[in-house]
């Protein structure tokens, strides 16, 4: 009797093609979630990375009402005494009109964002200087770095060209200076200073008549996780000032809010896809039950109990879930490693910032495994309803 029962069980499992289809459904569901996470979360993290590296740092300090009138040197020295701080640098921004003569033709461009930087400190606190693909970064008070789009709009400005810059000072008077182009900045995805021009901060202070004033202070940490701690320590240390200190998440909130909603929606779509995989398992298991009517009837006829039939199909679901979760997770990790190693980007967009979120990886695998088991419950229950007489009808 035991031999015949074991033989019937082997007959019940002899449907490898259908089982492989169910495993493939789980695998694809997990892989889709991993691909979506790498692309969309990687793009989000890349935007945060570039905003931090180019513009805001890990902490951005501004004045709540006006320009910072406290010495930038004293503030930089104060921050750099903190062990978590790698560097700090002052910035000052304005809007300028520019013109230059190219091939005998005068070309003008208005409302160009103009950033004043300290060339010695800025290269320690930001990576803007690394985006200069032609020439050099700002090194003196009469040099200017043009973003690639600004250079294009000026008729194709090149290193060595002379550019006239007009800035309106604090009293509404036009201040005009002539600069030599020292470099052209071009960053992947245009997230850097491609639409901006960069000059020495002291030159911009002179033109704006803002001697000693600073627009913002960019602080770079060697441990970004300490940003909130450093920010709160700074605000406690200067309680009587009108300083506003923000972490990268706070200072870039408007730029990132919409993207967060998009990521949530894409994640939801991914889990709907996993639900579709569970439905595919349910369908395949029902087909298996319908195709094994004879074997189920024989097992019942030779003494198998309903719980034996139930456990066989549930165990089958466990196998499908385990293999599918393992293969899908391995394929997803393989794609993640590939994206990380190759610095994946799309159509010259910014390179993805790939992260390994092990909590999400494990959660996805467990969810797919549990869904595979749940999807097997109804077919398993349906299999127990088969009667021994069914074997006689299908012989």
Q: How many CB atoms lie within 10 A of CB 334?
A: 12
Residue 97 has pLDDT above 90, yes or no: yes
Say if residue 92's pLDDT is above 90.
yes
Reply yes or no on whether the pLDDT at 394 is more than 60: no
Query: Can you give the pLDDT at residue 11?
Result: 47
Confidence class of residue 4 from pLDDT cuts 50, 70 and 90?
very low
Q: Which of 163-172, 212-221, 245-254, 265-274 has the lowest mean pLDDT?
A: 265-274
Question: Phi, psi at residue 344, to the nearest 5°?
Answer: -55, 135
CA 357 – CA 44 distance, rounded (Å) = 14
Mean confidence (pLDDT) of the chain: 83
Helix-helix angle 306-341:358-384, to 10 degrees: 160
Does pTM top 0.85 for this prediction?
no
- How confident is the model over 22-47, as pLDDT tens digits? 777 778 777 877 787 787 778 788 88
Give the CB-side neighbour count of residue 13, counting CA atoms within 13 A: 13
CA 47 to chain centre: 7
How do the domains of the chain map onto residue ranges? 2-50+256-394, 66-241
The three-class DSSP label of residue 348 is coil
Identify the residue with better confidence: 283 or 109: 109
Question: Does the structure show a pLDDT above 90 at 49?
Answer: no
Cα separation, 145 vs 123, in Å, equals 14
Which of the pair, 86 or 19, is modelled with greater confidence? Answer: 86
Q: Is the pLDDT of residue 372 over 90?
A: no
Q: Which of 60-69, 141-150, 279-288, 334-343 has the lowest mean pLDDT?
A: 279-288
> Going by C-beta distance under 8 Å and a sequence separation of 6 or more, which residues neighbour residue 2?
none
């Amino acid at each position: 009797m035991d031999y015949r029962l074991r033989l019937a069980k082997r007959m019940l499992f002899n449907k490898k093609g259908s089982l492989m289809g169910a495993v493939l459904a789980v695998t694809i569901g997990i892989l889709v979630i991993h691909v979506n996470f790498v692309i969309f979360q990687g793009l989000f993290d890349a935007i945060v990375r570039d905003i931090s590296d180019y513009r805001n740092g890990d902490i951005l300090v501004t004045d709540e009402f006006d320009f910072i009138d406290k010495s930038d040197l004293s503030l930089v020295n104060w921050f750099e005494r903190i062990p978590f701080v790698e560097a700090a640098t002052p910035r000052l921004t304005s809007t300028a009109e520019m013109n230059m003569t190219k091939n005998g033709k005068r070309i003008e461009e208005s409302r160009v964002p103009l950033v004043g930087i300290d060339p010695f400190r800025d290269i320690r606190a930001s990576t803007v200087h690394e985006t200069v693909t032609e020439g050099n970064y700002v090194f003196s008070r009469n040099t200017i770095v043009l973003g690639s789009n600004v250079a294009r709009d000026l008729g194709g400005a090149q290193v060595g060209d002379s550019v006239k810059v007009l800035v309106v000072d604090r009293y509404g008077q036009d201040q005009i200076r002539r600069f030599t182009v020292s470099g052209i900045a071009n960053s992947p995805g245009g997230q850097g200073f491609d639409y901006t021009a960069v000059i020495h901060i002291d030159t911009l202070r002179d033109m704006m008549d803002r001697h000693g004033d600073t627009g913002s202070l960019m602080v770079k940490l060697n441990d970004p996780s300490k940003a909130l701690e450093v920010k709160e320590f700074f605000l406690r240390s200067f309680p009587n000032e009108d300083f506003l200190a923000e972490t990268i998440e706070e200072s870039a909130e408007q730029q990132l809010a919409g993207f967060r909603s998009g990521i949530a929606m894409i994640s939801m779509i991914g889990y709907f896809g996993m639900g579709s995989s569970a439905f595919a398992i349910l369908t395949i298991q029902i087909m298996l039950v319908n195709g094994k009517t004879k074997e189920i009837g024989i097992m019942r006829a030779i003494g198998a109990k309903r719980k034996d039939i139930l456990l066989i199909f549930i165990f089958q679901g466990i196998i499908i879930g385990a293999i599918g979760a393992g293969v899908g997770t391995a394929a997803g990790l393989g794609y993640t490693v590939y994206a990380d190693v190759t610095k994946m980007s799309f159509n010259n967009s910014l390179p993805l910032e790939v992260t390994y979120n092990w909590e999400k990886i494990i959660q996805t695998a467990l969810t797919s495994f549990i869904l595979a088991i749940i999807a097997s419950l109804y077919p398993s229950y349906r299999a127990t309803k088969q009667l021994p007489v069914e074997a006689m009808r299908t012989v």
